[in-house]
Amino acid sequence: MPSKLDALNRWVEDVARRTRPDRVHWCDGSEAESKMLTRSMLESGDLLELNPRTHPGCHLHRSDPKDVARVEKVTLICTKDEADAGPNNHWMEPSEAHAKIDALFDGCMQGRTMYVIPYCMGPLGSPISRCGVEITDSPYVVANMRIMTRMGTAALERIEREGRFVKGQHSIGTLDPERRFIMHFPEELSIKSYGSGYGGNALLGKKCHALRIASFQARSEGWLAEHMLIVGIENPRGEITYIAAAFPSACGKTNLAMLIPPEGYRRDGWKVWTVGDDICWMTPGKDGRLYAINPEAGYFGVAPGTSMKTNPNAVKMLDHDAIFTNVAVTADNDPWWEGLDDRTPVKDWQGRDYDPKNGPAAHPNSRFTVRATQCPSWSPEAENPEGVPISAIVFGGRRESLVPLVFEARDWTHGVLVGAGMASETTAAAAGQVGVVRRDPMAMKPFCGYNYGDYFAHWLSFDQPNAKLPKIFHVNWFRKGADGKFLWPGFGDNLRVLEWMLKRINGETGATETPIGLLPDADGLDSDGLHLADGALDTLLDFDARSWQAELAAIGEYLDGYGDRLPEKLRAEQQRVTAALQQASGESAAPARKAAAS
Ligand code: O2Y
Ligand code: MN
């Protein structure tokens, strides 16, 4: 009798025939399998044991020094029509792409074991979840996929029931940066990645499947696959409101997802629940609301900067059963990175004796991989097959000036424009010039698997008569004063801004209407006990029509790059805001109008 696994078995045989591994191992996800793999990686030197007293079950992996981050220029979207990939992606024609990468895969697993990893993105019993199978010759990838996804027998059983899955083929190859490709074939629901063993290039369930392929699938199936954290805010009445938020890299997404309320808020009974820190799949429910799941089961977070000040929950979850990649180690063999504490490490991320002349001890993109359930603020709702109802979508960026601490979009269409116009200033952590404004719509620039013009149209399409869509907000934690210092304390105090959003959602506070959206009234934000500098709150909530005119012009110019794929409705919205700004600058003495509390 034909089985729904026949296609999977045939594909695995085809890949094995091409790559010629010594052995094929089907991963079952068991504890015994994990122990066996860890033992063999300790023997091969792929993993090093960390201090078992302070960090039981923790290991260090050092990647090839030339293989330390995602590489955008060799990350390709291979659609039949180049216009479907859009100017936001690097493109290659599918048959040319297959031929190029298949030649690299030829015989590449000789002498190695080929692992077959069935996995499920999202809770195993959720209709929103989707399955995939990654074939890889890297046991480090298997160990990470075991933490980051629901991997093994249960996922295989779901694949057998459904008969559909995303095919991911990966080999570390020779780790030669000149022979490295991460190719996506969204029309075939498949991924081929060769030449890198690092993070997003190799753990194919994450950025490749859960964002690039899933965003393409989501468009045709009527849902959204987004680069967003999901967090639940519990108020003193015990009501939990769920928020999804998109920020470009280096804007503190993981920190916000794991926020600890300020002392006074904690005393009053506020709590924060972490559902996800990076990816969010949202689908309309029967009641018209958007319901979200975190497709991942773990965190693959940036280590540098993570500390008891910035993210105590993260530090606490990392004291057992975690994999650290490219961090430094202390004399006690503890993992260490810049910003963690004031100890001096003895070995840097490459295993050399630490010498500050060689640069930072931990690589700036060094990572931890850890099960989501180890986070003290982990929400059991992360396992809810229905997902959690989203009441607010938050976009954000890093902007020293211009952009207020928070504003609310007037409606869904305006919110889509706010997301499409998102931008962030580059930091020292990224290669290239510092302080340059980069457009990164919905923080999806490296992850949207199709033309951004079509993506904006897809977002707009959710605005249906019966839809009960989330409110859309924009935040900027990074505004600086004339002295170059940050005006807002950030971290736990960001809850004050989220509280204002909750009040807006519940119709409990008014707001000041401006052409860019609704701003908190002077007394709208709770700043009790904050000790902000004189005038800081005024600057944080300040709106300057003339400077915003230039910003809207830049957004318009950027959007024009999507040509006739840009939805007319979005262009019209940009023009509407531009006109309102012109009017406001001509009438700058006119008082702002108060909006109703709804
Ligand atoms: O450098 C990598 O391969 C990882 S990139 C990454 C990892 C976890 C969460 N987000 C990201 C990102 O670049 O957005
Ligand atoms: Mn990310």
Secondary structure of 119-178 as H, E, C letters: EEECCCCCCCCEEEEEEECCHHHHHHHHHHCEECHHHHHHHHHHCCCEEEEEECCCCCHH
Instruction: Report the pLDDT value the prediction gives residue 342, as an integer from 0 to 100.
Output: 97
Pocket of ligand 1 contains residue 278 by CB under 6 Å: yes
| Residue 145 CA to ligand 1 centre (angstroms) | 14
At 387, the amino acid letter reads G
Cα(201)–Cα(538) distance, integer angstroms: 44
| Residue 296 CA to ligand 1 centre (angstroms) | 13
Instruction: Report the pLDDT value the prediction gives residue 13, as an integer from 0 to 100.
Output: 98
* Nearest alpha carbon, ligand 1 atom 12: 249
Pocket of ligand 1 contains residue 300 by CB under 6 Å: yes
| Residue 227 CA to ligand 2 centre (angstroms) | 6
When computed from its CA atoms, the radius of gyration of the chain, rounded to whole angstroms, is 24
Which of 207, 256, 296, 369 has most ligand 1 atoms within 8 Å of CB, for mutation?
Answer: 207
Full-model pTM:
0.96
| Residue 199 CA to ligand 1 centre (angstroms) | 7
Q: Please report how many Cα atoms fall inside a 13 Å half-sphere around the Cα of residue 294, on the Cβ side.
A: 32
Pocket of ligand 1 contains residue 200 by CB under 6 Å: yes
Closest CA to 148 of 454, 452, 374: 374
Residue 68 CA, closest ligand 1 atom number: 1
| Domains recognised in the chain with CATH numbers | 6-47+64-222 (3.40.449.10), 226-252+284-292+380-597 (3.90.228.20)
Pocket of ligand 1 contains residue 148 by CB under 6 Å: no
- In sequence order, what E strands does 418-510 have? 423-425, 437-439, 471-475
Which of 147, 212, 300, 349 has most ligand 1 atoms within 8 Å of CB, for mutation?
Answer: 300
Cα(420)–Cα(427) distance, integer angstroms: 21
Helices (H), 269-398: 312-317
Residue 277 CA, closest ligand 1 atom number: 9
Instruction: Report the pLDDT value the prediction gives residue 436, as an integer from 0 to 100.
Output: 87
Q: What angle do CA 298, 161, 206 make, to 5 degrees?
A: 25
Tokens for 285?
């429910």
DSSP 8-state secondary structure symbol assigned to residue 213 = I
- DSSP output for 433-456: -TT-EEE-GGG-TTT--S-HHHHH
Q: Which positions of the chain have pLDDT values less than 50? A: 588-596, 598
| Residue 303 CA to ligand 2 centre (angstroms) | 13
Q: Which residues contact 512 (CB under 8 A, 6 or more apart)?
A: 518, 519, 520, 521, 592, 593, 594, 595
Exposure pattern of 369-381 as b/e (b: 16+ CB <10 Å)?
Answer: bbbbebbebbbeb
Q: What is the pLDDT of residues 74-102, one digit of tens each?
A: 999 999 999 999 999 999 999 999 999 99
Residue 227 CA, closest ligand 1 atom number: 14
Residue 447 CA, closest ligand 1 atom number: 14
Instruction: Report the pLDDT value the prediction gives residue 431, as an integer from 0 to 100.
Output: 52
What is the SS3 assignment for 469? coil
Instruction: Report the pLDDT value the prediction gives residue 5, as an integer from 0 to 100.
Output: 86
Among the bound ligands, the one closest to the CA of 141: 1
Instruction: Report the pLDDT value the prediction gives residue 428, as an integer from 0 to 100.
Output: 57
Give me the active site residues, please: 251
